[in-house]
Chains A and B, each alone.
Chain A
Amino acid sequence: MEPALKPFIEPQPPPLQSSGLIGWLRANFFSSWFNTFVTLALLWVIYQVGGFAINWGIINANWVGDSAKSCPNIDGACWAFVTERWRLFVYGLYPQELYWRVNVFYLLGALTIIAFIFSFGPATRKLRLTMFIGFPIAAYIFLVGGVFGLEHITPESFGGLLLTLVIATVGIFGSIPLGLILALGRTSDLKVISKVCTYFIEFWRGVPHIAVIVMFVALLPIFIPDGNKIDIVVRAFIAFAAFNSAYMAEVFRGGLQSIPSGQFEASKAIGLSYWKMMGYIILPQAIRNSVPALVNTCISIFKETTIVLLIGFSDFLGIIQLSLEDPKWLGPPHIFSSAYVFAALIYFTFTYGMSKYSLRLENRSNVAQ
């Protein structure tokens, strides 16, 4: 028989603290035995890696010197390689007395970036457009010269970070208009135009970039009439703009497809022509939607500039690799590691900055919706 009264239930202990510092620590680091183990293991890894990085990069590092002999300690970085050669890495073989022209290019680039990051009230759009068109022209005038009494410098003497940034500029500023045209072509109602653009885009996207560059460098002389010469650097520039325009086209196509069809229908209903519809209604929205993807494409373009070293150009990585093969600096692997870590830091600064910018834009547009 059931007892009339159920047995007395002992009071439970209070739940584990779930607020305050202890609660936060418990929730984020020690919520289960597995998490505790992972936390402890990762702390150990951080301790080891951090200790190694400080020892290798700072305490045991060699900071000055002029050859591999000045870096005898193989347990430390050889920054001497960087401190001795940094001019070469940054300016390439540009004549030393004309470094100011390169500096102007760097400054203009920085100003362009600032124009695109910060808002300047109602003038913002005009300012950005001016910078977008003006920067490549000014860059050409200052770097190549030959006008306004500036001495002519052939692009073949570009090198180091300068060449990397010039190629990235050509890739980005050349591929955006081309890509926009291709994207409009691909989404066009005209079957033939759409097909031609689709094949063009898919072709470039299907082959390795280095193969495209080699193709342009090797074949362009065969396909232009005798007597005309195109500089090898310019050939690489054309290749770079060509295949990147295919990637940009896909970015803009994504933007165009994100526009609801009602926008197209409404524009047609009020009697706008194709170009007016695109110029006033569709593209302003589509371009705004495609900016985060566009910045991501710019990041890959920037990283892709390194492949030109395979056809013998001395871009930033190329000139570092060349210097490493210089008998003066030929030595144990720690010189290589130091050089690559330095190069990685520089590349990372640019690409990480761009990726943060793209993330900010994405978050802002998410909030706006």
Chain B
Amino acid sequence: MNDLLSYWRRGSVRSLTYQWGLVAAIVLALLWLFDTANTNLDRLGIQTGFDFLDDEAGFQISQALFPYTAQSTYIDALLVTFSNTIIVSLIAALLATLLGFFIALSRLSDNLLLRKFGDVYVEMFRNIPLLLQLFFWYFAALKLLPPKRESINLFDAAFLNIEGFVVPAPVLEAGASAVIWAIVISFVLAFGIWRWAKNRQVRTGEPFPSFIIGLGIVIVIPFAVAWIQDFPVSWEIPKFGRFNFEGGVGLQPEFTAMLIGLTLYNGAFIGEIIRAGILSVHKGQREAANSIGLTQMQVYSQIIVPQAMRLIIPPLTNQYLNLTKSTALAAAVGYPDFFWALSGAISAQTGQVLEIQAITLFGYLGVSLFIAAIMAVYNHATRIPER
């Protein structure tokens, strides 16, 4: 007995016992859950398996990036709605970052009124639930727009009405692919020059105006190619036909409401993140940079922002993750996103609860991990090199 007790007092023995105990408990719990689920599913007569995904979906999706009809399969429906989730997250993240940048600037301004304006904006938008804001934009604000026949006309090219926003659609003609390639190549070239110039400056200290040259390359080469190809892109202008707009691309009010709501809400958070990042750079850094005679532009681009970035990236990643996850609220305003399809029509029609929950969780988990991975790579690239 005494032997056993002294054996137990050994740290390694105890830690192994705890850990194997936990593993055993988890395995047992999973087995028990699996067993109860099996009996329950048998009793309810639910078939498990993912075969239902090849069946005809039978419901419409109001915004589809690629061809989709009610006769398409569930797989197609999932792909279409997943792309809708990605699209709204991407555009909202981009706009929110831009907005957040301006909010941060205004909160750091030396104009008291502008500073207060930024404060009020941030406090207002981040303290009101996102769902309430989405409701406001969708059910109250966008409903103030005029009906289709009295659309607000923007330069005869874009039309804003209660059923959405109709904008000109680009039409690619022969030779457009050459221009697209020119854009890609010019970006690669500009990036190469930037790398070369940076390396050279590190080696020899000789500066090179890589930003201006790069900007020139990115603008001039595609423009020249487009000119040679006789501008192969034309715009299809929407026109009001008998009952509806013909041509152009329509942005639906659901999409617009999601975009406005997500942008304004996340912009407030991102503004606060950027502000905190810039303020956290020690003021000696700014003073030192000023005293060696850098211009204000250089102080920001070479000294402040690179250091602030390291503090901005982790919370910004979190904010992007939150934004992407919160697009699942789209179901509330009827925007056809991934969660809308899974929790709505698909689960009502098939009753395959287990499979649908698995698809939902792993779909979103996949996106989250993807964003986290990208930001981790970026974070690694901008880290403080330790020796």
Contacts A29-B111, A196-B22 given; indicate if A352 touches B129 (C-beta within 8 A).
no
Q: Does B213 contact A (CB under 8 A)?
A: no
Within 8 A of B (CB), among A200-253: 203, 205-211, 214-215, 218-219, 221-226
Which residues of chain A come closer than 8 Å to B328, judged between CB atoms? Answer: 208-211
Q: Name B115's closest neighbour in chain A (CB-CB).
A: A28
The one of B130, B353, B364 in contact with A218, judged by C-beta atoms closer than 8 angstroms, is B353
Q: Are A29 and B112 in contact (CB under 8 A)?
A: yes
Contacts A203-B365, A310-B329 given; does A303 touch B113 at CB 8 Å: no
Q: Does B224 interact with chain A (Cβ within 8 Å)? A: no
Contacts of A344 in B (CB 8 A): 128, 132, 136
A42-B113, A299-B127, A344-B128 known; A190-B19 Cβ under 8 A = yes
Mark each residue of chain A from 306 to 317: 1 if its CB lies under 8 Å from any CB of chain B, else 0: 110110000001
> A29: which B residues are within 8 A, CB to CB?
111-113
| Complex: A97 Cα to B189 Cα, angstroms | 76
Chain A contacts for B113, CB-based, 8 A: 28-29, 38-39, 42-43
Which residues of chain A are within 8 angstroms of B130 by Cβ–Cβ distance?
A: 303, 306
Interface of B is mostly: helix
| Residues of B close to A327: CB separation below 8 A | none
- Asked if A211 and B364 make an inter-chain contact with CB atoms under 8 angstroms apart, the answer reads yes
Is the pair B364, A226 in contact by a Cβ cutoff of 8 Å?
A: no
Q: Which residues of A contact B39 (CB under 8 A)?
A: 225-226
Number of A-B contacts (CB under 8 A): 164
Complex Cα spacing A38 to B353, Å: 56
Given the known inter-chain contacts A218-B357, A219-B354, please indicate yes or no for A355 contacting B127, CB distance below 8 A.
yes
| CB closest chain-A residue, reference B23 | A192
Quick one: which of A219, A221, A348 contacts B124, CB cutoff 8 A? A348
Does B294 have its Cβ within 8 Å of any Cβ on chain A? no
Closest residue of chain A to B356, judged by CB?
A218
Considering only residues 69-128 of chain B, those with a C-beta below 8 Å from chain A are 109-114, 117, 123-124, 127-128
How many chain A residues have a CB neighbour from B under 8 Å?
Answer: 56
Enumerate A154-194 residues with CB–CB distance to B below 8 Å. 189-193
A337 part of interface (Cβ distance < 8 Å):
yes
Q: Interface readout for A295-339 with B: 1 if CB under 8 Å, 0 if not?
A: 000010001111101100000010001001000000001101100
Q: For A321, what are the chain B residues with a Cβ–Cβ distance below 8 Å?
A: 135
A303 touches B22 (CB 8 A): no
What is the interface of chain A mostly: helix, strand, loop, or mixed?
A: helix
Identify the closest chain B residue to A37 (Cβ).
Answer: B111
User: What's the minimum C-beta distance from B153 to chain A, rounded to whole angstroms?
Assistant: 22
Contact A207 B18 (CB under 8 A): no
CB neighbours (8 Å) of A224 from chain B are: 36
Tell me the residues in window 16-37 of chain A with beta carbons closer than 8 Å to chain B beta carbons: 27-29, 31, 35
Please, what's the 1-or-0 string for B7-27, where 1 marks a CB less than 8 Å from any CB in chain A? 000000001001110110010
Contact indicator A348/B140 (Cβ below 8 Å):
no
A28 lies within 8 A of B364 (CB) = no
Q: Which chain A residue has the least Cβ–Cβ distance from B111? A: A35
Report if B184 contacts A (CB, 8 A): no
Are the C-beta atoms of B360 and A215 separated by less than 8 Å? Answer: yes
| Shortest beta-carbon distance from B154 to chain A in Å | 22
B40 located at the interface, meaning its Cβ lies under 8 Å from any Cβ of chain A in the complex: yes
- In the A-B complex, the 9 residue pairs with the smallest Cβ-Cβ separation, listed nearest first, are A208-B328, A206-B368, A192-B19, A28-B112, A351-B127, A336-B140, A333-B143, A303-B129, A337-B140
List 9 A–B pairs whose Cβ atoms lie within 8 Å, in order of A's numbering: A27-B110, A28-B111, A196-B22, A205-B368, A208-B339, A221-B40, A226-B39, A340-B135, A343-B132
User: Which A positions have Cβ atoms within 8 angstroms of B?
Assistant: 27-29, 31, 35, 38-39, 42-43, 189-193, 196, 203, 205-211, 214-215, 218-219, 221-226, 299, 303-307, 309-310, 317, 321, 324, 333-334, 336-337, 340, 343-344, 347-348, 351-352, 355
